[in-house]
Amino acid sequence: MKCLVVIPAFNEAENIASVIQDIRRQDAALSLLVVDDGSQDDTAARAREAGADVISLPFNLGYGGAVQTGMRFAYEKDFDLCVLIDGDGQHDPKYIPDLVAPVAEGRADLSLGSRFLGRADYSIPAARRVGMFLFSKITSWVTGQHITDPTSGFQAIGRPLIKFFLNDNYPVDFPDADTLIRLYFAGFRILEIPVVIRPRERGVSMHGGSRALYYVYKMFFSIFIALTQRSALRKEGSHAVEH
């Protein structure tokens, strides 16, 4: 199957080359696309120097917008699936085959890397850990499936789900518990895979500062909206799978 690794990156000039090299060491044949989300540093130039294809957005769209750009590229270039890896070096690419396998074998539409089934090699702040636990419980309760790590951005996504996401079903900022709930209502299958998440070596996390408060507010609101749209999501999910 044709697989595209999509690396959304914002101001990751210090990390992006080592991320690309780490992926190449695992599988030199993988297609790589860095989506430079309006960075103010040399992220795009260093990604090209490291051998990746690069799409540079004219301004910062946010994480979700960058991921949608990568998925649009994957869909239009007829890739069968894409793997999302953050540009900060926290996702260990040796787990790419583990994530890809369930999607390639038809056992899942979304393969989600879980640090809580695997391991987090860094200290998670107490407030963030509480948020992870809360939204994990909400997602598990709504879907009836035990979801341990709804915040993970380390994922493999099959082509029918890529099509679904491109039809205005992917948030521009924080795809998270709300997105998993929408997928459940749409009939897509989610499978968690144990992975190791490493500490960020350099730079600043997108979840820091006041954004953490916005994240909590936005997530509750988005989950509420998803709960009101279950019938429409079921119909749209069926259409994406059939076509």
Model pTM?
Answer: 0.89
User: In what side-by-side order are the strands of the sheet with 190-197?
Assistant: 53-56, 31-36, 3-9, 81-84, 155-158, 110-120, 190-197
- The number of domains in the chain is 1
* Average pLDDT of the chain to the nearest whole number: 90
Mean of pLDDT values over 27-33: 94
Residues 167-204 have pLDDT tens digits of 888 888 778 899 999 999 999 999 999 999 988 766 55
- pLDDT cut 90: percent of the chain above it: 69
What CATH number does the domain containing 104 carry? Answer: 3.90.550.10
pLDDT for 209 beyond 90: no
58 burial type by CB count under 10 A (0-12 exposed, 13-18 middle, 19+ buried): exposed
pLDDT for 235 beyond 90: no
The residue range of the domain holding 128 is 3-242
Local confidence band at 106 (pLDDT 50, 70, 90 cut-offs): very high
